[in-house]
Amino acid sequence: MSNSTLPSSQIASQTLQNYPTPLSPPLPSISKEVELARAMSASSKSSLFKLSRTDVLYEDEWLIAVNKPPGVYCESVLASAPCLLSGGSVEAGSDRLSEGLFLTVSGVFILRNARTRDEAANTAPIMEPARLMEVEEAAFGGDSGAGVGLISTVPAGAGDMDGGELLKAPRVIESEDGVALGEVRPGRICAASVGVGLSGTQVNLPELHLANRLDRDTSGVMIITKSHKVAATLVKAFTDHKIRKTYIALCIGLAPKWEQITIKSGHGRSKFGVWRVYAASDVGRTLPGGSSVRDMVTSFEVLSVNGKGSFKETSNFQKDEENVIIVEEKAVIDDDAKKGEILVRAFPQSGRTHQIRLHCQYLGISIRGDVKYEGVYEWKGKTYEGHELHAESLSFEHPVTGCPVMFRAPLPFWATQVLHSISN
């Protein structure tokens, strides 16, 4: 029997059977409400955020490394950089741009034909929180929001964070009441190159770009470059996996039997879906909506379990080639087992969205506070307002000098608490 003679329901069933099956569970029911509250809180916090010199880890004439705080969108860090670099001589965020002002809110940007942030806020309607979340879910699966920031003309010919594709203007996905909504994608955002000084005079600023992105609630090392050329060089280094990254995460789950492990799997999401773990053998296969499953590899080492262990330096890590999990089926997790606090260091060898969070979930040690991937929202009587994941270090060859560099961010309070218990 040909497909043309089959009932539509049977054809749809056969089509679904041809797609890869995700091996990690869908979003928990609690996640949407919690994530909405966190997104709105982060938007408010981001609108007030200003970089200070205490946030700067390193700076030269080509780039600046900063320690991004949790609960602040990357674009807000970028937008406040011109004021920091000019010594405060530019109006906050370099509000005035010849092409107009973009205010990014919870994963979408709202374009208003206005000259200043205050004017923009008063001349166009703000979307209702529920609508913001709806658009965010549609465009990004709920957690790629941008916060409040500025977007200027993007340089033609520069590669995006995935490599190969040219940077271009953000794509408009919807328009209502004269407000344009568009996607904000990694590597497609830069700060204004021209600002207006407090005295009204024009101030020339570097062409600032985000070289890497961190999730909204992830803290740690973030690189801002000062020219198109340096940005393109660093983006290519990220794409070619020539940059060594380490993260620290505090997880809740059954104490691992391993000290070191490497997990290899597929990674992807269907159209308007959420990021999921797929089988390693599904890499390259097409998902609903046209995207494909990509490879995802992360190594982990346990630093402490319930305050007992030792904090190792990142340079001492040697990957255990024998202890490798190649994901081909759903993980079996004992939900009734006694859970503890596990501090791990992660070494992502690919650069997939939410990679560490997804692999921690698959290993049964979801990150504390990460409600999207089954992390506990409440633990020992305390409620957590974000996931506890920290970008500890970045190591690479300097894009101009060629010298090896390592940037490390101070550990957050939740990590130093664990270290204090270890030392005692």
| 242-423 CATH choice from 1.10.1040.10, 1.20.140.10, 3.40.50.1100, 3.30.2350.10 | 3.30.2350.10
Give yes or no for residue 386 having a pLDDT over 90: yes
> Can you tell me the distance from the alpha carbon of 273 to that of 81, in angstroms, rounded to the nearest whole number?
33
Dihedral (C-alpha) 123, 129, 135, 138: value to the nearest 10 degrees?
Answer: 170
Concerning whether 215 is annotated as a catalytic residue, the answer is yes
Give yes or no for residue 1 having a pLDDT over 90: no
Give yes or no for residue 129 having a pLDDT over 80: no
How far are the Cα atoms of 10, 161, 371 from residue 351, in angstroms, in the given order? Answer: 38, 9, 21
Give yes or no for residue 91 having a pLDDT over 80: no
Mean pLDDT of 48-75: 95
- Position 311 scores a pLDDT of 73
pLDDT tens string 331-374: 988 877 889 999 999 999 998 999 999 999 999 999 999 999 99
Confidence of residue 378 (pLDDT cuts 50, 70, 90): very high
pLDDT tens string 206-226: 789 999 999 999 999 999 999
- Position 87 scores a pLDDT of 75
Give yes or no for residue 244 having a pLDDT over 70: yes
Give yes or no for residue 298 having a pLDDT over 90: yes
Give yes or no for residue 229 having a pLDDT over 50: yes
Mean pLDDT of 382-408: 95
Confidence of residue 130 (pLDDT cuts 50, 70, 90): very low
CB contact at 8 A, 259 and 423: no
Question: Which pTM value belongs to this model?
Answer: 0.74
The residue annotated as part of the active site, out of 55, 95, 143, 215, is 215
CATH 3.30.2350.10 domain extents, the chain: 242-423
Nearest by Cα to 124 from 140, 137, 135, 109: 109
> Can you tell me the distance from the alpha carbon of 20 to that of 90, in angstroms, rounded to the nearest whole number?
51
More confident residue, 291 or 154: 291
More confident residue, 95 or 21: 21
- Position 333 scores a pLDDT of 84
Close Cβ partners of 252 (under 8 Å, ≥ 6 residues apart)? 339, 340, 341, 342, 365, 366, 367, 368, 375, 376, 379
pLDDT tens string 161-185: 333 232 333 333 333 333 333 333 3
More confident residue, 386 or 170: 386
